[in-house]
Chain A
Amino acid sequence: METLQYAIRKLIYAIPLLFGVTFLSFILMVHFGPDLTYSILPKSATQEQIEEIRAELGYDLPFLQRYGKFMKEVVTLDFGSSTSSGEKVSSILKKAVPVSFLVALPAFILANLLGILLALYAANHRGRFPDKAVMVLAAIGMSISYLMVVIAFQLIFCTSYGLNWFPVQGWVEPPPDYPDATAGEIFYYYWYYYWSYVAVPTLASIFVALGYNTRFFRAVIVEELNRDYVRTARAYGVRNRKIMMKHVLKNAMIPISTRIIITLPFVVIAGNLVVEKFFGIPGVGLVTYDAITNGDLPIVKAVVTCTAVLYVLALILTDIVYKIIDPRISYSK
C-alpha cells in the first residue's frame, strides 16, 4: 500500500519531466525537423503550390499551435499516417515492437546474466589472473566497433566463407498452409525459424554489451566486497559463496538493477538500429532507420516520443524497485 502511494507520488513528480522531454522532442524533430515541401512537389512548382503543400503539412502554423498539435498527438498516441507508405503509424509500430522485443530480449537477458556471473568471478579473484583475464577480454569487447562485430559474425556464421549455419538476413514468415499441421508442428516451425534468425544478432549484441556490463558490475561488486560487514562475516566464518550471494550481491543489486532497468526502453521500443538494419529484421530499429532516411516524420516522432516517455517511466520504475530492495529508503521523502 505504502509502496503504491510512493509509486503514485513518483508518477506525479514525473509530469514536469515528461513535459520537458516532449518539448525537447518537439523542438528538435518538428520545429527544426525535415521539410518535405520540395520532395513532394515537382521541380518547377508555383508559389501557390508551395503554400498549398505547406498548409497541408501544417508548416505554416505558428510555433505554439504546432506545439499544441504535437502534444495532442502525443497524448492521444495518434501520430497519423506514414508519409511514405500511408499506413497508420500505430499499426506499423504494433507490428514492429513485438519483433524488436523478440530480437532484443534474449541478448538483453543473457548479456546481463553473463555480465553478473563474470563480474562475480572476476571480483572473487580480484587482482589475480582470472580477474585480469576477464577485464582484458572486456576491454577488447568494448573496443571493437559494433559494425565490425556484426560483419564478422555474419561472415563466420552466415556465409559459405565460414560455418554457413544461419540465414544472413530476414525474419520469420508465417508457416505454409498445411491443413493437417498440428499445433506442435506449428510451434516447432516458429521456434526453429525464430532461433535461426535471432541467434547471430543475439550473439553480436551480447558480444558488444558484455564488456560494458562486466566492467560495471565488477566495479560495483568489488566496492561491496570491501565493506566492513563483509569482513565481519568472514570473521565469524561464513563461507565465501554465501558471502558473495547474501552480503555482496544483494547489496550490489541496487546499482545493478538501475543499470538494467534503464536499458529496458531500448529493448522494448528503441530497438537496435544497427542490428536490425544489418540483419534485415523488420523491428522498430529498421522502421526508424527507414523513416529517418525517407524523412518520414510521423514515424520518427512516434518512436522518439515513445522512447523518451518510456525512459522516464523506467526511471520511475528504478525508484520503485529501490524502495522494494533497499530498506533504507523511506516512504515519506
Chain B
Amino acid sequence: MEETLVQVKDLRTYYPIKGGLLNRRVADLKAVNGVSLDIPTGQTFGLVGESGCGKSTFGRSLLRLQKVTSGEVIIDGENILSLDRAGLMKARKDMQIIFQDPYGSLNPRMTVREIVREPLDTHKIGAKADRNGEVMRLLEVCGLRQTVADRYPHEFSGGQRQRVGIARALALKPKFIVADEPVSALDVSVQSQILNLIGDLQEEFGISFLFISHDLAVVQHISHEVGVMYFGKLVERAPAEELYSSPKHPYTKTLLEAIPQPDPTRNRTEVLVGGDIPSHLDPPKGCPFQPRCPVAMPECAEREPELKPVDSDDCSSRHQVSCWLY
C-alpha cells in the first residue's frame, strides 16, 4: 500500500453564531462536522459537494487558514494544528493552496515576477540572484512564456492567471496542494488545459492534491479517490472509478444524475433532489439528508448513520458510505 502523506482525523470547524442582547455565542455553525480522510503521496483526493456544504472551509482548515475547533491534521508526520509559529512556518513550505478566483488571488499591484517570487523571498530559498531564474523556470513549467514576467495580472486571461497562481503554489516545491475550485471560474476549454497541467505536475513532482469542486465531472478525470460531502460531513467515499460506476448514497446518485450526458437515449430515472441544504441553525434530526432523500425510511429521521464500509465483510474496502440502506 502507498505511503499516506495527509491524514485528517475527525476535523471539526465551527463558526460561532452570535446573538442575544450581549452578543454572546449562542450556537455553533458546524461548517465541518467531523471529517476524516487520508491522501497517499502523489495522489489526488477529490472532494465534491454543493455550495455551503463546508468543503472550502475544510480545505482552509487543513492549512490552518481557518481556526479549527477540534481534530487532527497530520501532514508528512507532523500535526499541523499543534505547531507553533516557527514550526508552522516550516510546514507552510510543504503545503500550498490554489484559489478559485484567479482574479482575486493575485495582488493587482504586483507583476507576475514579483508574485511568483514572493514565496521564495519569504522563505529565503536559494541565493537572491538565483531566484529570478527559478521564477522563469516555474513560469515555463506552468506553460507561460517568460516574456510575461513583467506584466500585471489584469493583462491576463482567467486561464493564464490560474497558471500564475499554480506557478506561485509550486515555488516552494510543496508536497501537498489544496486546490479550492481551481477551474470553476474558467471556460470549459480552459478548464481542461488547467486540469491537464495539474495532472502533469502531479506526475512530474509527485504532489498530493486535495481537489475541491462542486462539479463531479471535473473531479472524475483527475482524482484517484473521491469523497462526497454534505452538511459538513463525508457521506460517501470511494476510489474514483467505483464511485462513478456504482454510487451508493442517494445523494451521490443525485449528483451523478445531474451531470449532463451527451446521450439523448439515456434512461434518466428522475430522482432529482429538490429543496436546499437544511438550515445550520436548526439541523434536522437523524440523517441530515433525510428531508430531501427520495428513499428515506422512518429510521433515517431518528438516528444519524455513520460512515462505514459498504461491504461489511471486506474491512479493507475503501468504499464507505453513511446511509441506513447499507
User: Which residue numbers of A lie inside 8 Å of B, CB to CB?
Assistant: 227-229, 231-239, 242, 247, 250-251, 325-328
Contacts and interface: CB of A to CB of B under 8 A. Distances in A.
Given A231-B105, A235-B63, 15 more contacts: A228-B104, A231-B97, A232-B99, A232-B105, A232-B165, A235-B95, A236-B168, A237-B92, A237-B119, A238-B118, A238-B122, A251-B109, A325-B109, A327-B108, A327-B154
A190 B95 CA distance: 61
A231 B99 contact: yes
Contacts of A328: 108, 152, 154
B195 to A, nearest CB: 20
Contacts of B119: 236-237
A229 B93 CA distance: 17
A236 B117 CA distance: 11
A6 B63 CA distance: 45
A228 B154 contact: no
Contacts of B89: 237
B9 interface: no
Contact of A327 (B152, B171, B172): B152
A228 B105 contact: yes
A229 B105 contact: yes
B23 to A, nearest CB: 10
Given A228-B101, A327-B154, A328-B154, A237 B109 contact: no
B65 A234 contact: yes
A129 to B, nearest CB: 13
B92 A236 contact: yes
A232 B106 CA distance: 8
B221 interface: no
13 contacts: A228-B99, A232-B99, A232-B165, A235-B63, A235-B96, A236-B96, A236-B122, A236-B171, A237-B89, A237-B123, A238-B122, A327-B154, A328-B108
Interface in B98-148: 99, 101, 104-109, 118-119, 122-123
B154 A229 contact: no
Contacts of A250: 109
B65 to A, nearest CB: 6
Contacts of A327: 108-109, 152, 154
A237 B152 CA distance: 23
Contacts, number: 64
Nearest to B115: A229
A327 B60 CA distance: 30
A245 to B, nearest CB: 12
Nearest to A234: B65
Interface of B: 60, 63, 65, 88-89, 92-93, 95-97, 99, 101, 104-109, 118-119, 122-123, 152, 154, 165, 168-169, 171-172
Nearest to A232: B105
B97 A235 contact: yes
B163 to A, nearest CB: 15
- For the complex of A and B, list the 9 residue pairs with the smallest distance between their C-beta atoms, beginning with the closest: A237-B92, A228-B104, A228-B105, A236-B119, A229-B107, A327-B152, A235-B97, A328-B154, A228-B99
Contacts of B105: 228-229, 231-232
A229 B122 CA distance: 15
A159 B154 CA distance: 59
Contacts of A237: 88-89, 92-93, 119, 122-123
A251 B93 contact: no
B1 to A, nearest CB: 30
A251 B107 contact: yes
A161 B137 CA distance: 73
Nearest to B104: A228
Contacts of A251: 107-109
Contacts of B101: 228
A133 to B, nearest CB: 15
B154 A232 contact: no
A235 B88 CA distance: 10
Contacts of B169: 236
Nearest to B98: A232
A239 B86 CA distance: 11
A247 B96 contact: no
A131 B63 CA distance: 26
Q: Which of A235, A247, A326 has the most CB of B within 10 A?
A: A235
Contacts of B97: 231-232, 235
B109 A233 contact: no
A247 B122 CA distance: 14
Given A235-B92, A236-B118, A327-B109, A229 B104 contact: yes
B107 A247 contact: yes
Contacts of B152: 327-328
Contacts of B118: 233, 236, 238
Nearest to A248: B107
Given A251-B108, A327-B109, A327-B154, A232 B168 contact: yes
Contacts of B88: 237
Nearest to A226: B104
A200 to B, nearest CB: 39
A227 B103 CA distance: 10
Contacts of B60: 231
Nearest to B154: A328
Nearest to B120: A236
A242 B123 CA distance: 13
B108 to A, nearest CB: 6
B58 to A, nearest CB: 15
A10 B60 CA distance: 45
Given A234-B65, A237-B122, A229 B106 contact: yes
Most buried by A among B92, B96, B107, B122: B107
A283 B147 CA distance: 56
